[in-house]
Structure 1
Amino acid sequence: MVTSSERPRVLILSYDAIDIDPRVIKQVRRLAEEYDITTCSPGASPDPRVEHIALDPDDVRPRGRWGNLVDDIAREREWFRWGYDHVPLVQQTRRLLRGRRFDAVIANDAETLGAAISVAGVERVHADLHEFFPGLPVDDTKLGLRQRRYWTWLITRFASRVRSSTTVGAEIAKRYREYGLDPGVVTNATPFRDFAPTPTSRPIRLVHSGNPFRERGLAEIMQAVAASSADVSLDLYLTYNPPTDREHLVALAEKLGPRITVHEPVGQAELIDVLHGYDVGIHVLPPTSENNALALPNKFFDFVQARLGIIVGPSIEMAGIVTERGLGIVTADFAESSILAAVDGLTPERVDGFKAAVQTHASALSAETQVENWATAVSAIARSR
């Protein structure tokens, strides 16, 4: 039996708080079974089994007049390496981990990669890229386009060099191959829940959960459900980020009438239980950015584990799974009229059929089948000491 002191040491690095990030928490929980884990991120420790090194996003050391002048010149001339080396979280990471030895590192997202390489060396780093960084939405301004070039530089300068990589979907993996990577795929699948589908309600209860960003097409979904000839209702569990967008949707719900209800947000620990009381999860996400067009988000897999039928737009990743496995309906496009046509076509019997298909595929679409891809990648690095 391998004792703790003999187990390989693995660093999990993120510049978002790991304790509230469902994807990175899955890395921690799976790898803590066989490695000595150190997590490094803002926020609290994500697991009592690990050592946690907390980063402070507010710890920004004064640069002084000359330092600020050089920073301004570096931004204007796109000296990206200078800018990266002076990112406060990057500097903290290097300072707090100086002299530590790790057998493998999972670096989450693009901006952690250079710091991870500094700590452990390029051959010890696995990159987990949660989005397609060259396609992140930016303003069509000089500053926005410079930011896009910076994200692209991070990928070509760091991500293309590390030992291995993963990302969230097959289509994003294809796009990354244009930048010198060959990533595997670990979807944002939800841990398996041993649920049976509930009989479909009358009215049929639709549900959506998440952020209230206007560009996510929630107003069109709400208006379509309110106008539908089917016996349906829609509940939305929306966060307060951003608050003005949420206020807009709350006001719209009041205007549209009793079919539409906006609720307080629900924490991830309770979310699947809450969703299980509904019939159909709906997420018709307009392709307002490349990442939205390629999206395969957490909420899709939440719907699966809650054993709901699913309505999505023709987003390539989500639509492919829904169509291949018979989990629900793919709208013709992202317009309100197409959402209305999909909702009008719902019947209790049809939704029961979708739920039965979801039940069949729930295990295959669970996190347990996905996290082994991380375990395999980390093992290949850590065991090569």
Structure 2
Amino acid sequence: MVRSSARPTVLILSYDAIDIDPRVIKQVRRLADEYDVTTCSPGSSPDPRVEHIALDPEDVRPRGRWGNLIDDIAREREWFGWTYDHVPLVQQTRRLLRGRRFDAVIANDAETLGAAISVAGAERVHADLHEFFPGLPVDDTKLGQRQRRYWTWLITRFASRVRSSTTVGREIAKRYGEYGLDAGVVTNASPFRDSTPTPTGSTIRLVHSGNPFRERGLAEIMRAVAASSADVSLDLYLTYNPPTDRQHLVALAEQLGPRITVHEPVSQAELIDALHGYDVGIHVLPPTSENNALALPNKFFDFVQARLGIIVGPSIEMAGIVTERGLGIVTTDFDEASILAALNGLTPGTVDGFKAAAQTHAEALSAEAQVENWAAAVRAITRSE
């Protein structure tokens, strides 16, 4: 790692491990050649060109009887400032970065913002918000509603003060406008892959990758594939988080028969190559939370770079791009019957047309076209010094 005193210094802060976070890794890779970058997060260093300050999520210092009592009172009375100041990762950040000076900070997600402001000042902080935090799903309980108010407090208390902000899609950016943010957009696009579509065979091979959460509608997709009159199959590359949900889907696949196969998860580095052998990526995500309703996830862009056709539900962000670019099919609803109707209309010829559209639009929908928005935000901060 070579440091140049002539280059501005940039801190990239995250409370998730940066080395396994595709979005934040893109920030690191784009900025490391232009700035002296320091990363601060749990996990290992994401890039040999940067200085990495590791946070330890297990480092929770005992608060003692009276400290725990005050914490309980603070939560009950919603003294959110006290609660935030005593989050262990926030305390570690402030302790480990005390006395350091950074010309700009990218603070990832809501809970890093207060710590970033205390390290560098609000005028040097760019907030990158990966979700719509006031709309995160919570239990319909007193505790759950208090958690929602805490997330909202983080946005109104900190995000509205920082120099600039970005989020993952246009609709979420509009929602943040209600909280005083003029957020730009950096989608979760995948890096451009110089590739070409494969011809579609007589069996149309569908694929899905990701977490096996029950609320993501995977069981409905699986049942629709099993019942379809079209010659289709479905392969799922599912993580083990949460394991009980994965076990449920494995058992369902065995029950539904040979059209459905559940595979081991594939690393992000290998995923596009694995997807490229398929024909259609499918992600029909029920709007069980506001963030799900507004979702524009990594996997959508992975499908494009793998040169697949795409089937999505009527989710506003994904459906808009699929329709605008001719990338595939938008189902009429999120239920099994709507998915089945979409599958029954598939033919190898229509799928080849969707793949051709992915080829046409792959560069425009790539990460390289998006990350310049982060670079511009950091440049505006450092040049105002």
- Give the shorter-chain TM-score range: over 0.9
Distance 1:344 1:270 in 2: 31
Distance 1:314 1:96 in 2: 45
**Percent of aligned positions that are identical:** 90
1:270 counterpart residue number: 270
2:314 counterpart residue number: 314
1:229 counterpart residue number: 229
2:184 counterpart residue number: 184
Question: CA shift at 1:201, angstroms?
Answer: 1.9
TM-score by length of 2: 0.99
2:380 counterpart residue number: 380
Distance 1:354 1:140 in 2: 41
1:326 counterpart residue number: 326
Deviations 1:24-81 (A, max 9, x none): 0000000001000000000000000000000000000000001011001000000000
Correspondences of 1:193-232 after superposition (within 5 Å): 193-232=193-232
Code of the residue aligned with 1:48 in structure 2: it is P
Question: CA shift at 1:4, angstroms?
Answer: 1.9
Code of the residue aligned with 1:249 in structure 2: it is L
Question: CA shift at 1:260, angstroms?
Answer: 0.3
Q: Which of structure 1's runs of 4+ aligned residues deviate more than 4 A?
A: none
Distance 1:357 1:313 in 2: 19
Question: CA shift at 1:202, angstroms?
Answer: 2.0
1:174 counterpart residue number: 174
Code of the residue aligned with 1:289 in structure 2: it is S
Correspondences of 1:14-29 after superposition (within 5 Å): 14-29=14-29
1:125 counterpart residue number: 125
Distance 1:143 1:290 in 2: 19
Question: CA shift at 1:184, angstroms?
Answer: 0.1
Distance 2:107 2:61 in 1: 24
1:258 counterpart residue number: 258
Distance 2:383 2:201 in 1: 52
Deviations 1:217-237 (A, max 9, x none): 000000000000001100000
Structure 1 residue 94 corresponds to structure 2 residue 94: yes
Matched residue SS, 1:6: coil
Distance 2:82 2:38 in 1: 28
Distance 1:244 1:114 in 2: 35
Structure 1 residue 284 corresponds to structure 2 residue 307: no
Question: CA shift at 1:91, angstroms?
Answer: 0.2
Question: CA shift at 1:213, angstroms?
Answer: 0.2
1:340 counterpart residue number: 340
Distance 1:215 1:343 in 2: 21
Deviations 1:201-226 (A, max 9, x none): 22110000000000000000000000
1:150 counterpart residue number: 150
2:9 counterpart residue number: 9
Code of the residue aligned with 2:132 in structure 1: it is F
Structure 2, unpaired ranges of 5+: none
Count of residues paired in the alignment = 384
Distance 1:102 1:201 in 2: 54
Question: CA shift at 1:384, angstroms?
Answer: 1.4
Question: CA shift at 1:324, angstroms?
Answer: 0.4
Distance 2:174 2:26 in 1: 24
Matched residue SS, 1:5: coil
Matched residue SS, 2:161: coil
Distance 1:383 1:251 in 2: 57
1:139 counterpart residue number: 139
Matched residue SS, 1:165: strand
Question: CA shift at 1:278, angstroms?
Answer: 0.2
Deviations 1:113-166 (A, max 9, x none): 000000000100000000000000000000000000000000000000000000
Structure 1, unpaired ranges of 5+: none
Code of the residue aligned with 1:304 in structure 2: it is V
2:353 counterpart residue number: 353
Instruction: Give the alignment's Cα RMSD to 1 decimal.
Output: 0.8
Structure 1 residue 365 corresponds to structure 2 residue 356: no
1:242 counterpart residue number: 242
Distance 1:307 1:111 in 2: 36
1:82 counterpart residue number: 82
Question: CA shift at 1:383, angstroms?
Answer: 1.5
Matched residue SS, 1:166: strand
Distance 1:249 1:188 in 2: 26
Question: CA shift at 1:191, angstroms?
Answer: 0.1
